[in-house]
Structure 1
Amino acid sequence: MPNTTPPQHLYIGLMSGTSLDGVDGAIASFDPGPGVAVRTLGTSYIPFPSGLRDDLLALQSSGENEIHRESLAANALAGFYADCVTKLLETSLLPSSAIKAIAVHGQTIRHRPELGYTRQTGNPALLAELTGIDVIADFRSRDIAAGGQGAPLVPAFHQAAFGNKDESRVVANIGGIGNISILSNDDDVIGFDTGPGNVLMDAWICRHQDKAYDSDGAWARSGQVLPELLQLLCAEPYLDLPPPKSTGRDLFNIDWLMSRLVRFGSANAADVQATLTAFTATTLADAIHRHAPQARAIYVCGGGAFNSHLMQQIAAALHARGNAAVVESTERLGVSPNHVEALAFAWLAHRFISRLPGNLPAVTGARGPRILGALYPAA
C-alpha cells in the first residue's frame, strides 16, 4: 500500500558533493519543536558515469567554451537527479504528489565567496519539468549576498538533528572537503571547513591506480607517513585562518598537491597516500583541538566515515593532542553517514517552505539569518 503520510510534510533532498561520485537522495519529514525530529522514509544513490564526472571536474577551472560545456553538464545532471527521485519514490511506494518539494544542492564548480560568488550547476527548472515536483535550489548565494561564506550550511541541520543539552559534541563531515560543526550544550554553534577531506586522496589514487577512491584506506595503510611532506602540507595558510571560512577544489586540488611534491620527486606513491590521509586527519584534529577542546564525542559523516584507516588516524591525532574523544560515525546517532547531507538539504527545503532562515550567521559570517533557496514551481 502507498505510504499515507501527509504530503505537506515530505521533502526530498538531493546531494552531489565535492567527491563527484554520484547523487545521494533521501525522503524525510520533520516534526517541529526545539529539536527537530527527522523521519527518513527512503534513501537512494545514483553513481555518476566516468564521462560526466570528468566533465564536471574539468569545469573546476576555466577553459575553452566552458559556458556551453557547463550547460550540457547541468542538463545531464538534472537527468541523474530525476532518476534518483524516481528511484526514491519507487522504493518508498510514494506518489510524486506526496512530495512537497525537492531540495537540490547542485554540483559546486566554483566557490569564491571572497569575490562574492559561488556556482552550483544543475538546471533545477529542468528537474521540476522532469519530476512534476516543485524544486528548491541555489541555497548558497543568498548567504553570500548577505556577506557570508555561503558554506558550510549543514551545521544548522546538525544542530537541529544532533544537538544535545547533556553533551558537547562535534559532527565532522568528510566528503571531498572536511568540515566540522561544534555543538555545545548551550546551543552555540561553530562550524567551518577544516581543509581537504577525501579530495586529495581520491585525486592521488586516481592518478596512480585509476581508482575513484582508496577503499577503506587500504593503499594508505600500506605506506608510511612522510613527516616533512606532512609538515609542508600543513603550512597551507588557509588552515590558520579563523572562522568563518570555507574552501573547496578551487584551493585543494591536484595542482596544489603537485606543486608541493616537487621536492619529494622520488617519494613512494603509497607513502604519499599515507601522508595525505594523515593530512586530512591532522587538519580535522587541529581544528577540533583549537575550537572544541571540551568535546568528548566526534561523530563522522560523509564518505570518510567508511574509511576505517582514516577514522583511526583521526582518533590517534586527537589523542596525541590530549583529547580522548570517541570517534565514531553518525550511525550511532541513528543516521547513516552517507545520508546526512541529503537529509540536511531536505531540511533546508522544509525551512524555505516554512519561511524560516536556513543559515547560521555565526557559522557563515552573514549579516543575519536569511531564508535560503530559490523556488522552481512544477507548474
Structure 2
Amino acid sequence: MDTWIGLMSGTSMDGIDAVLVSFRENAVRIHDTHSIPYPEHLRHRLMLASQNQATPDEVGELDTLTGVIFADAAETLIRNSSVDKSSIRAIGSHGQTLRHQPSGPSRFSLQIGNPAIIAEKTGIATVGDFRSRDMAAGGQGAPLVPAFHQFFFGSKTEDRCILNLGGIANITWIPSNPASPVTGFDTGPANALMDAWCLDQTGRAYDEDGHWAQEGIVDQAMLSDMLSDAYFDRPPPKSTGKEKFNLGWVKTLVQRHGETRPEDVQRTLLQLSVITAVRQMPQSPAMTVYACGGGTRNRLLMGELSQALSPIRVLDTAELGLDPQWVEPTAFAWLARQTMERKPGNLAEVTGARGPRVLGAIYPA
C-alpha cells in the first residue's frame, strides 16, 4: 500500500503540520501526524519578508532555512511512525507563501521551503511549487484544496460548503447534483487580521477562544468601512493573502476612525471574518457548512458563524471523518499523489485556469 506525506504551513506562519496518509477510492486513512512550530526569530523574519521587507539574499536564506524545517517535520513524522518508510511514495509540500499576486500583468505566487532539501534529507521524492502551473494556464493558483474537498467530502445526498478558516478564509461549494460544478474562492481574512492585531496589541500570537474579542463590542462604523473594500464584492475566481489583508490594512482603518479600544477592534475584525464568509456563501438552505482550519478552535468565531447562518447547520470536518487541523496537509499529500500519477490537481472552475492541469514540480529521491 502506497502512503504519502503532506506538509503545510499557511498564512498564519506559525509552523508546519505534517501528515502521513494513505488513500483508497474516496477514503483517507491518517496513519500519523506531527506539528512543528517555527522558532520565533524565524517567524519574525518570514513576516517581514512577506511584507516586502527582505533582500534577495534574505529570501534565499529563508528558502533554505524553511526547507530544512519542512524536512525535519517529515523526518520526525517518519521516525515516530510504524509505517515502513519504503511505502512512502512521495511528499507533497505546500511550502511557505511569502507573496501571492494573482492579478496584474506579471502574476506570481511565491512559496519557499526548498523541496530539493526535503528530497535530499528524507530520501523521498518531493513535489512542490503547486501553484505555478495553474497560474501559467491563466488561473489564480489558489485555492487548490477544493479538488481534494470534492474527492473526500463530496456527497450525493447533501449540498456541502467546506469553509476553511486559516489565515485567509476560503469556501468550496460541493453540490449533491454531480452535474453541477464545484466552485470555490477566498472570501477574505479569517484569522490573519485577528492574529496580527492581537500580537501587535498584546504580544500574544493569537486570541485564544476569542476571549479578548469577547471583551469588546463591534464598531459598526469601522466594520462598514472594512466591508467597503472592493475585494469582497469582486466576483470569483479570486484569491488573496497577507499582501492585501495585513496589520497595515487594520491600522489604516483604525487611524481613520480615531480613538477605538483595542478589544473593540479585535471584536470588529472577528465580525468581519464572519460576515465576509457568510455573505459570499451560496444561498442554499439545504446545505450544511463544514469548517476546518485553525479558526475552528476559536469558540467565539464558530459561535458567531453558527448564529449568522442559522438555521443552516455549522459543523466541523471531524463529522465527515477528517480532523479540521489535518485537512490542508492531507490535501497536499493527495495533490502529490495526483502529480505522481500525472492527474490534474486543480479545478478550472475554481481557479479560472484554461483547463485542468497536472500541478507541481517533482524532485526525485
Q: Does 1:327 align with 2:314?
A: yes
Structure 1 residue 342 displacement after superposition:
0.2
Instruction: Tell me how far apart the structure 2 counterparts of residues 201 and 207 of structure 1 sit (CA, whole Å).
Output: 10
Q: Which amino acid aligns with 1:376?
A: Y
Instruction: Tell me how far apart the structure 2 counterparts of residues 145 and 241 of structure 1 sit (CA, whole Å).
Output: 22
1:190 corresponds in structure 2 to 183
Structure 1 residue 98 displacement after superposition:
2.1
Asked whether the 8 Å contact 1:217–1:309 carries over to 2, the reply is: yes
Unaligned runs of at least 5 residues, structure 1? 1-5
1:311 corresponds in structure 2 to 302
Structure 1 residue 239 displacement after superposition:
0.3
Aligned-pair identity in percent equals: 46
Instruction: Tell me how far apart the structure 2 counterparts of residues 93 and 124 of structure 1 sit (CA, whole Å).
Output: 24
2:356 corresponds in structure 1 to 369
1:74 corresponds in structure 2 to 63
Instruction: Tell me how far apart the structure 1 counterparts of residues 264 and 147 of structure 2 sit (CA, whole Å).
Output: 37
Q: Which amino acid aligns with 2:353?
A: A
Asked whether the 8 Å contact 1:75–1:122 carries over to 2, the reply is: yes
Instruction: Tell me how far apart the structure 2 counterparts of residues 159 and 294 of structure 1 sit (CA, whole Å).
Output: 20
Q: Does 1:211 align with 2:204?
A: yes
Structure 1 residue 83 displacement after superposition:
1.6
2:121 corresponds in structure 1 to 130
Q: Larger deviation: 144-153 or 262-271?
A: 262-271
Query: Secondary structure of the residue that 2:259 maps to in structure 1?
Result: coil
Asked whether the 8 Å contact 1:11–1:29 carries over to 2, the reply is: yes
Asked whether the 8 Å contact 2:28–2:152 carries over to 1, the reply is: yes
Q: Name the TM-score, length of structure 2 as normaliser.
A: 0.97
Structure 1 residue 147 displacement after superposition:
0.2
Question: Where does 1:1-379 land on structure 2 (aligned, <5 Å)?
Answer: 6=1, 9-32=2-25, 36-63=26-53, 66-114=55-103, 115-187=106-178, 188-288=181-281, 291-319=282-310, 324-378=311-365
Asked whether the 8 Å contact 2:31–2:83 carries over to 1, the reply is: no
Query: Secondary structure of the residue that 1:43 maps to in structure 2?
Result: strand
Asked whether the 8 Å contact 1:96–1:132 carries over to 2, the reply is: no
Query: Secondary structure of the residue that 1:130 maps to in structure 2?
Result: helix
Asked whether the 8 Å contact 1:168–1:294 carries over to 2, the reply is: no
Instruction: Tell me how far apart the structure 1 counterparts of residues 250 and 231 of structure 2 sit (CA, whole Å).
Output: 14
Q: Deviations over 1:107-160 (max 9, x none)?
A: 111111113211001111111111111100000000000000000000110010
Q: Deviations over 1:219-241 (max 9, x none)?
A: 11111111111111111100001
Asked whether the 8 Å contact 1:300–1:337 carries over to 2, the reply is: yes
Query: Secondary structure of the residue that 1:68 maps to in structure 2?
Result: helix
Q: Larger deviation: 240-249 or 324-333?
A: 324-333
Instruction: Tell me how far apart the structure 2 counterparts of residues 26 and 153 of structure 1 sit (CA, whole Å).
Output: 18
Instruction: Tell me how far apart the structure 1 counterparts of residues 30 and 256 of structure 2 sit (CA, whole Å).
Output: 49
Q: Name the TM-score, length of structure 1 as normaliser.
A: 0.93
Asked whether the 8 Å contact 2:67–2:112 carries over to 1, the reply is: no
Query: Secondary structure of the residue that 2:47 maps to in structure 1?
Result: helix
Query: Secondary structure of the residue that 1:100 maps to in structure 2?
Result: strand
Structure 1 residue 314 displacement after superposition:
1.1
Q: Deviations over 1:231-262 (max 9, x none)?
A: 11111100001111000011001111111111
Query: Secondary structure of the residue that 2:237 maps to in structure 1?
Result: coil
Query: Secondary structure of the residue that 1:338 maps to in structure 2?
Result: helix
Structure 1 residue 347 displacement after superposition:
0.3
Asked whether the 8 Å contact 1:182–1:292 carries over to 2, the reply is: no
Q: Deviations over 1:246-298 (max 9, x none)?
A: 0001100111111111132311111110100000001111011xx24345311
Asked whether the 8 Å contact 1:13–1:104 carries over to 2, the reply is: yes
Q: Which amino acid aligns with 2:27?
A: A
Structure 1 residue 210 displacement after superposition:
0.6
Asked whether the 8 Å contact 1:152–1:364 carries over to 2, the reply is: yes
Structure 1 residue 63 displacement after superposition:
3.3
Q: Deviations over 1:328-376 (max 9, x none)?
A: 2111111111100000000001111111100000000000000001000
Q: Deviations over 1:160-179 (max 9, x none)?
A: 00010000010000110000
